[in-house]
Structure 1
Amino acid sequence: MKLIKKALILSICSALALPAVAADKKNEMKEVIDFYGKLNISLQASEEGGDSFNELKSNASRVGVKGKYKLDHGLTAIYKLEWQVNVDDDSKDTLTARNQWVGIKGYFGEVTVGRSDTTLKVSQGKFDLFNDYEGDLKNLFIGENRVTDALTYKSPSFSNVKFLASYILSEDSDLDDPFSVGVQFGDGSLKKTDFFVSLAHDQNMQGKSAIYETTRLVGMYKFGDLRLGAILTESEISDVSDSTDTDLIGASENGFAVNASYKLGKALAKVQYQEFAGADAINVGVDYKLGKNTKVFAWYTDREGLSFNGETIKKATEGTYFAFGMEQKF
């Protein structure tokens, strides 16, 4: 942890002390370094199992350094080092690793190696309107994985179509290497296009006590200030690490999510419903922009129906949650 902290401090100092753009002899950009982050903190009132409590939440606040450097032969070196900053943690060790990789970009697309979100995870684009909150898709869906030892490929865009793949080197010689593949049509942020469709599949993905196959179909469309989205997902247990649970092999669960948001001036009203394996969650909220990089927000989540096999959902608990807070990006 001390080594990570030193590396982060050096990265920050480098980003602040060095110029962000270095020009070559033709006055073209040769190197770009970007120090970035966000603080997202909320006061949350929670009710779980008949107990009510208030807490301060650091909703995946983060800090990072990313950059690119022009090479010969039309290639570009790219890198990213990102950490989650847990400002609500009582411990002084508040940094945890997020995406951290290095790679090469060129006419063929880009290839990276390191710690990365899988193809299936990134296939949702900006679908999740309650990302990093209690309403996050990961609290019910299987497949929201960030993995180490990953080799990731992203193709160039061909008429708004892009192919992606992740190959993960398993550290267990008795298990097959996991992989994740997908295809996207449109812009996942709905900035370059008004539509986005993706199809992705995980194979041999390792959980804590089981190995999963997951397939996910995502669609989004923007009608002016109105945005609509939907997801269909299926997960199947293909193997288990505990021989006593072999009867779970082949167990399959289906789910879906739908959402909508509407922009009213500086306010964004949003609603999202998610169901998976008999459990569901309803989320409503509003964001209000105070500036380009600053917003305040409030949301409510009601999640229930988790009386089923614990092998399918790892993180979720039944409960109701209300929060209001502020996000500052930099």
Structure 2
Amino acid sequence: MKKLLLATAVATLSLSTVHAAPTLYGKLNVTLDQVSNADFSDDKVTELNSNASRIGIKGEEALTDTISAVYLAEWGVSTDGAGSDTDLSARNRFLGVKFANVGTVKAGKFDSYFKTAAGSAQDIFGDHTRLDFTDVLVGEDRLNNVIGFESDPKMLGGVQFNIMAQQGEGDEDDASNSRDGFGDSISTSVSYESDIGLALALAGNFDVQSKWAGLDSDKLYTDAYRLTGSYDFSKIGADGLVLGGLFQHAEPSDDLDGAESLEEQAFGITLAYSIPSTAWTVKGEYIAAETSADGWDDREIDRYGLGVDYKLNKQTKLYGVLAQTKINEALQVAYDRAEDKETVFGLGMEVKF
């Protein structure tokens, strides 16, 4: 009898341990890129890029039948040993509480809901060092010191509502405007995925500090809205074909001397086709942004991109990219760029685990 009780206790302990164990995940994504007119200079550079390679742990711990503790901690790793992908740099991380069929409250540092409103159907080259959205348009932010709520789509019939509040913790954009309260910056989104292949999202940023590519990557506290959508044509018989689109508008939260009526308008369109019964996917992207202000010539950025993926298995793919980013004369002159275009040709491999 004692042996039976002991065996039962050990088995119970083992099950609890397995249930509580975190999941290790990540991916390594490396490309060899040939960059002509790098950063709109006269330089031609061959680069080995790590492309947001990462490693993380995540998990969920049941507290009651309907409430769980959730957590995630993710670090960037430098596969190439250099550049911006510093080893163990802070990426998304949070601690939170999940309420079954209601939603999740979480606190930490993670992508704004404005950013995540553009998913894989819109940001098809998102991890590539040279082709990330952040070099074209406003809003690709991972925010510190945030508390967020994400509703469960089942609660509202497929509609998901997200809102996060960022604490400025005393940051000052000028001597008279200290951001030191709860929810100094707000990011929110509403999204919907239907069973007919249509997905839509509307997102807003309010007083969120973002990088402006049209201002040579200056950061401004910004108000913005973003509308995204995609359609999976497999629902009408065109298996593997997905169309994505994005439109957004941004303007500074505060008045800026010398840049009255400053605003950015941006849009993008993407197409991806996973060829049925093969390992091949082809995809294309066009994205454009225009930054304007009273007394300025409009500053324009346009990017054209093509990509081909070949899946070796569910976790591994080989791929190639060819893209060109162009700036107009007003932007070239404003920041003394030697060239008006940058061209990237890359071959890469991605492994997820």
Q: TM-score, normalised by structure 2?
A: 0.78
Query: Could you tell me which residue of structure 1 aligns to residue 295 of structure 2?
Result: none
Query: Could you tell me which residue of structure 2 aligns to residue 206 of structure 1?
Result: 209
Q: 1:105 aligns with which of 87, 98, 109?
A: 98
Query: Could you tell me which residue of structure 2 aligns to residue 220 of structure 1?
Result: 230
Q: Does 1:150 align with 2:146?
A: yes
Residues 205 and 309 from structure 1, CA distance in 2 versus in 1: closer, same or farther, beyond 3 angstroms? Answer: farther
Query: Could you tell me which residue of structure 2 aligns to residue 115 of structure 1?
Result: 109
Q: Residue type of the partner of 1:145?
A: D
Q: Does 1:238 align with 2:253?
A: yes
Q: How far did residue 195 of structure 1 move? A: 1.9
Query: Could you tell me which residue of structure 1 aligns to residue 343 of structure 2?
Result: 320
Unaligned runs of 5+ in 1: 1-20
Contact 1:279/1:306, CA 8 A, preserved across alignment: yes
Query: Could you tell me which residue of structure 1 aligns to residue 158 of structure 2?
Result: 160
Q: Residue type of the partner of 1:226?
A: L
Q: How far did residue 53 of structure 1 move? A: 1.4
Instruction: Give the Cα separation in 2 of the matches to 1:298 and 1:165.
Output: 36
Instruction: Give the Cα separation in 2 of the matches to 1:23 and 1:266.
Output: 39
Q: 1:86 aligns with which of 65, 78, 81?
A: 78
Report how many residues are paired: 295
Residues 162 and 195 from structure 1, CA distance in 2 versus in 1: closer, same or farther, beyond 3 angstroms? Answer: same
Instruction: Give the Cα separation in 2 of the matches to 1:41 and 1:279.
Output: 26
CA RMSD after TM alignment: 2.5
Contact 1:235/1:253, CA 8 A, preserved across alignment: yes
Residues 297 and 72 from structure 1, CA distance in 2 versus in 1: closer, same or farther, beyond 3 angstroms? Answer: same
Residues 159 and 230 from structure 1, CA distance in 2 versus in 1: closer, same or farther, beyond 3 angstroms? Answer: same
Q: Does 1:181 align with 2:188?
A: yes
Residues 22 and 226 from structure 1, CA distance in 2 versus in 1: closer, same or farther, beyond 3 angstroms? Answer: farther
Determine helix, strand or coil for the equivalent of 1:128.
coil
Determine helix, strand or coil for the equivalent of 1:120.
helix
Unaligned runs of 5+ in 2: 1-12, 211-217, 235-239, 291-299
Contact 2:34/2:46, CA 8 A, preserved across alignment: yes
Q: Residue type of the partner of 1:215?
A: Y
Query: Could you tell me which residue of structure 1 aligns to residue 215 of structure 2?
Result: none
After TM superposition, list the pairs within 5 Å mapping 1:1-330 onto structure 2.
23=15, 30-48=19-37, 49-72=41-64, 74-90=66-82, 94-107=87-100, 108-126=102-120, 127-133=122-128, 134-157=130-153, 158-171=156-169, 172=171, 174-176=177-179, 177-186=184-193, 194-207=197-210, 208-224=218-234, 225-239=240-254, 245-264=256-275, 265-277=278-290, 278-305=300-327, 307-308=329-330, 318-330=341-353
Q: How far did residue 238 of structure 1 move? A: 2.2
Q: How far did residue 22 of structure 1 move? A: 5.7
Please tell me whether Structure 1 or Structure 2 has the larger radius of gyration of its CA atoms.
2
Q: How far did residue 193 of structure 1 move? A: 6.2
Contact 2:76/2:86, CA 8 A, preserved across alignment: no
Q: How far did residue 58 of structure 1 move? A: 0.4
Name the structure where helix makes up a greater proportion of residues. 2
Name the structure where strand makes up a greater proportion of residues. 1
Percent of matched pairs sharing the same residue: 29
Q: Deviations over 1:63-86 (max 9, x none)?
A: 000000000252110000000111
